Amino acid sequence: MRIPLEVTFRHMEPSAAAEARIAEKVAKLEQFFSQLTRCHVIVEAPHEHNRQGKLFQVSIDLTVPGGELLVTRGHNHQSHAHEDLYVAIRDAFDAAKRRLEDYARQQRGDVKQHAQPQVGARVDELEPE
């Protein structure tokens, strides 16, 4: 990566352990897709809700040649899995890897092309000849 990893913590104290886990995940992304030029990760703990604990939100902004990929894994009110910061980080980086796989496929031209319907002239009359 040309620009070093940036990690921002919002509404929470910075965690060296979480930052180390994020660095590990970014290193794995770089092994998979070596052309990453920038990675900015934002870890956010929204305000507490009355009926549930803190649900962490992790956003990953990846800059690749020819574009930028943004992955946001927000808090889902149906699931309490993101009450654990490390689960939220894992899910966000899993989504980022899928997004990078799609991007790499497009760059290689491996994306399936749908056949265009054939367009022709209208036949008015058939002759036996």
Q: Does the residue 115 lie in any domain?
A: no
CATH number assigned to the domain comprising residue 67: 3.30.160.100
Q: Does the residue 81 lie in any domain?
A: yes
Predicted TM-score of the model (pTM): 0.76
Q: pLDDT digit string (tens) for 52-101? A: 567 889 999 999 988 899 998 765 554 566 788 899 999 999 999 999 99
Q: pLDDT digit string (tens) for 104-117? A: 888 887 766 667 77
Measured at the alpha carbon of residue 122, what is the angle toward residues 120 and 127, in degrees to the nearest 5?
115
- Identify the domain containing residue 43 by its residue range: 6-92
Q: pLDDT digit string (tens) for 13-63? A: 999 999 999 999 999 999 988 889 999 999 998 766 545 567 889 999 999
Q: Does the residue 11 lie in any domain?
A: yes
Q: Does the residue 97 lie in any domain?
A: no
Q: What is the number of structural domains in the chain?
A: 1
Q: What burial letters (b/e) apply to 37-58, b meaning 16+ CB within 10 Å?
A: eebebbbbbeeeeeeeebbbbb
Q: What is the reported pLDDT for 6?
A: 95
Q: What is the reported pLDDT for 96?
A: 95
Q: Does the residue 67 lie in any domain?
A: yes
Q: What is the reported pLDDT for 43?
A: 94
